[in-house]
Structure 1
Amino acid sequence: MSDGPLIVQSDKTLLLDIDHILSDECRRAIAAFAELEKSPEHIHTYRLTPLGLWNARASGHDAEQVIDILIKYSRYAVSHSLLVDIAETMSRYGRLRLEAHPVHGLILVSNDPAVLKEVTRGKKVAPMLGLQLDEETIVVHPGQRGFLKQALLKLGWPAEDFAGYVDGEHHEISLRQDGWQIRKYQELAAEGFWHGGSGVVVLPCGAGKTIVGAAAM
């Protein structure tokens, strides 16, 4: 037992004591992978979900980092079965990949043929797929990219998308900053958007989403 601000429960809920001296530090750390459910006055409730863990994986966080954070801030010992479940869930991200093929267009690829075989048996996935090129590669029907990603997510196998996008027309532009300056959080948001090639910027009203968009351009 330690004096951490976080109580990690076996049902995947996290209880954060916001009166604790380390609560802000802990809140920032778990925000990368835990979803806030309730925020009353003294105890905030977060939940670990597959989607939240996969989003963390997509943002560059691995299971070891998530586990280390939970152990570091937890007031009590964290259930071993929960830690194993986190590692297993996060390991599913990236086992399937969407890639561009010079002849067949969009393809679904996996280095684990058993995973590819499993998802192709899915009733909602199968109609979106075409010719199987080999045991690790199968063609995706045109126009099914987004629908396929949603269907794979529901099956518990999120696909990492490397297919990219068609480049638009290039324009030489610059951002004038006469008399004002981009704030650090806006700069980080723009960099995250650019690094991913696309994305959604979520900020409170008045926080400068327009500025983030201009910086991303």
Structure 2
Amino acid sequence: EPEERYRIAATAQSKMPVIRRVLERHPDEQKLVIGAYLDQLDELGVALDAPVIQGSTTNKERERLFQAFRTGEIKTLVVSKVANFSIDLPEAAVAVQVSGTFGSRQEEAQRLGRVLRPKADGRQAHFYTVVSRDTLDSEYAAHRQRFLAEQGYAYTIVDAADLAGPGEVNGPDWVDEPAD
């Protein structure tokens, strides 16, 4: 039952305040929140007041939302694996990965590719992975991190407590952030 244990860790409610804090660090940037579990993504869409794009979203609606994101009308999009391939969103400067397909290195590389493209105005892109500590979620993240380090990406691990605002309790999560 590793799949179920991973799902429980990957969709932990304690990730929500961490996700919010990460997004707050980039108020003026175009942000993607990326995950694998549709119920989690639906909850995030409601909590963040952001549209959700998933497999059941019609092509017409996807294109409308992508276009609104490209023009800046929408600042945050919550997307499932449908965004891993075949979309071009160079405006995305921030991606927050909240869950993935176990330790899939290909998926991580695809998601990084969504944001780590040169920005026309020279802005820096940021890719975050929010991970539940001491779980399969963190084991799989370490596996992906090793692969990306081999590809030349640098990581900084930030404890959720370091992102917390006054009085916030963030739970046992940490954030994996590629360094500059």
TM-score by length of 1: 0.24
Determine which structure has the larger helix proportion and give its number. Answer: 2
TM-score by length of 2: 0.27
Which structure is higher in RCO with an 8 Å CA cutoff and minimum separation 6?
2
